[in-house]
Amino acid sequence: MRAKTMDGREIDLRQEELDSFKKRLRGPVIAPGEAGYAESRAVWNSMIDKKPALVARCLGTADVIACVQFASEHRLLLCIKGGGHNIAGLAAADDALMLDMSLMRGVWVDPQRKVAHAQAGCLLGDVDRETQVHGLAAVLGFVSLTGITGLTLGGGFGYLTRRWGWTSDTVLGIDVVTADARLVRASSDENADLFWGLRGGGGNFGVVTGIDYEVHPVGPEVVGGVVAWPAAAAPAVLELYRTLAAKAPPELTLVALMRPAPPAPWLPKDMHGKPIVALLACHSGDPAEGEKLVAPIKSFGTPIGDVLVRRPYEQMQSLLDATQPKGRRYYWKSEYLSSIEPALCEKVIAHAARIPSPHSAVVLFQIEGALNRLEEEHSPVGNRDARYVLNVAGSWEQAAEDGANIDWVRGTWNDMKSFSTGGTYVNFLTEDEGPERIAAALGKGRRRLAEVKAKWDPQNVFRTNRNIKPA
Ligand SMILES: Cc1cc2nc3c(=O)[nH]c(=O)nc-3n(C[C@H](O)[C@H](O)[C@H](O)COP(=O)(O)OP(=O)(O)OC[C@H]3O[C@@H](n4cnc5c(N)ncnc54)[C@H](O)[C@@H]3O)c2cc1C
């Protein structure tokens, strides 16, 4: 079987080598053409079409260790798939050995210590499901099908970020198999340099097998959902967003977006496909207080749909899932903002009016709060001046439409990037981003990351990521 080495050479793996590798694993090892290969290699963004030489579906830490040993014996290129949601498709690489972590989805919650231990193949919804049994929640993202590991290693933000910071700020410990195939614990008092690097440095330092999150009392009921108006109301609605967001307590997270109306049952049929403006809200504190805080949204103007209600937290966490299905074509450009300026809102409205696809959107996420109170050097995520995230999110069906959609995303972003803090979110970077944008995402921690990389992965075994060259 043909495979690629770390340094790009092609090699042949002999059948007996493959057979002995398979025997070292509990989980299945799958070659191209075999059952399960197509599913494992596919990532969320169908713009990416990579074909690994071999997929190892790890069933536990011992399988991960066996994979890293085998890769090291043959100097094989390795790639690691968590949820496969990275827009740049970093989970997959041509002719590599792919470690597919998706069979490792256990979650254990200690309600006394308020800690959840999650295996590295978990999706966000797996962790929410188990933590909510105890009325607890970890700080995770907005779409329940996203992988926890890629999200956490790059920072992570969601409805609870305003209260407790980036997801990575809430991590207590990480179990990781290093380049020399050792299982190592990284926490503030064990291998603290590695722990620092992992909380923003992505998959550069090893294969994560499990993460301990600090969890907080949330739900089971929150006040959350969406209210939508026709795009003609956008100037007033975005002004409402600006003023409400500026005074919202950390329990309340507000998101504004403009897009063509999706064919959702809560929106009138004659509005489907027509341009709308919407406010998404989640209040994770006392529901009675939440209802008071979102009342000005619900009573504003003449909405065409309103599903901003008391609902289970778990339901809130999956509310957006249907808008981001696996297998469409996606292209994003994103920036951190320190405030929402009226001039930015004007640009949002102008560019949303030219969206070429029924699925694309311009989105403003509010994240200010706890993350701004930590030092820039707390972790490599940095960007402690970020208060909002702008995402120009292109999404469409056919390859023939790539040009028009990518042009719209780039044009919109070009016209808005002057509002940026200068920083951008590493987990939202597309495949075509160069060193300048990666530098903008990793910020001031780059030199220290290179030192941590040199200590823990001097040969750069873990390179199919936003790669940090060893110092
Ligand atoms: C629909 C959608 C919604 C999103 N919403 C949010 C959001 O609300 N908040 C947010 O912060 N982000 C969000 N993101 C971005 C998300 O954080 C990234 O896409 C992230 O990479 C997803 O993690 P994953 O495990 O699915 O990634 P993968 O694509 O599986 O992997 C991404 C990278 O992480 C590395 N990696 C994965 N698992 C491991 C492991 N076990 N050990 C070492 N390295 C590993 C891979 O090598 C790769 O480099 C969203 C993405 C999508 C597609």
- Give the ligand 1 atom nearest the CA of 43: 29
- The radius of gyration of the chain from alpha carbons, rounded to an integer in Å, stands at 22
The mean predicted confidence, pLDDT, of the chain is 97
44 lines ligand 1 (CB under 6 A): yes
Confidence of residue 439 (pLDDT cuts 50, 70, 90): confident
Q: Please count the other Cβ atoms lying within 10 Å of the Cβ belonging to residue 341.
A: 12
User: ∠ at Cα 150 (144, 151), nearest 5°?
Assistant: 55
- Give the ligand 1 atom nearest the CA of 167: 11
Closest CA to 74 of 160, 5, 135: 5
Structure-token match 């496969």, residue found: 84
Q: Which of 378-382, 402-406, 437-441, 465-469 has the lowest mean pLDDT?
A: 437-441
208 lines ligand 1 (CB under 6 A): yes
Give CA–CA dist 134/108, Å, rounded: 11
Whether the predicted model's global pTM rises above the 0.75 cut: yes
pLDDT digits (tens, 9 = 90+) for 382-419: 999 999 999 999 999 999 999 999 999 999 999 999 99
Query: Residue 239 C-alpha to ligand 1 middle, in angstroms?
Result: 32
How far is C-alpha 346 from the geometric centre of its chain's CA atoms? 28
pLDDT digits (tens, 9 = 90+) for 231-267: 999 999 999 999 999 999 999 999 999 999 999 999 9
pLDDT score at 436: 87
Mean pLDDT score, 94-123: 98
pLDDT score at 444: 83
Percent of the chain residues past pLDDT 90, beyond the cut:
96
pLDDT score at 1: 87
Mutate to test the pocket of ligand 1, among 41, 80, 127, 332 (most ligand atoms within 8 A of CB): 80
Where are any strands of DSSP class E within 92-139?
Answer: 97-100, 107-110, 115-119, 136-137
Instruction: At 275, list the tokens.
Output: 């341009």
- Please check the confidence at residue 120 and state whether its pLDDT lies above 90: yes
The SS3 of residue 389 is strand
Q: List phi, psi (to 5°) of 154.
A: -100, -5
pLDDT digits (tens, 9 = 90+) for 272-320: 999 999 999 999 999 999 999 999 999 999 999 999 999 999 999 999 9
Confidence of residue 81 (pLDDT cuts 50, 70, 90): very high
CB 336 within 8 A of CB 420: yes
Confidence of residue 181 (pLDDT cuts 50, 70, 90): very high
Structure-token match 């919202």, residue found: 248
Structure-token match 């897009």, residue found: 259
Q: What is the largest CA-CA distance in the chain?
A: 71
Q: List phi, psi (to 5°) of 31.
A: -105, 160
Closest CA to 316 of 252, 249, 230: 252
Taking CA atoms only, the protein residue closest to ligand 1 atom 9 is 141
CB 221 within 8 A of CB 312: yes
Instruction: At 55, list the tokens.
Output: 């997929």
92 lines ligand 1 (CB under 6 A): no
pLDDT score at 443: 76
Q: Which helix (H) or strand (E) holds 350?
A: helix 342-352
pLDDT score at 113: 98
Percent of the chain residues past pLDDT 70, beyond the cut:
100
pLDDT score at 111: 98
pLDDT score at 348: 98
pLDDT score at 435: 86
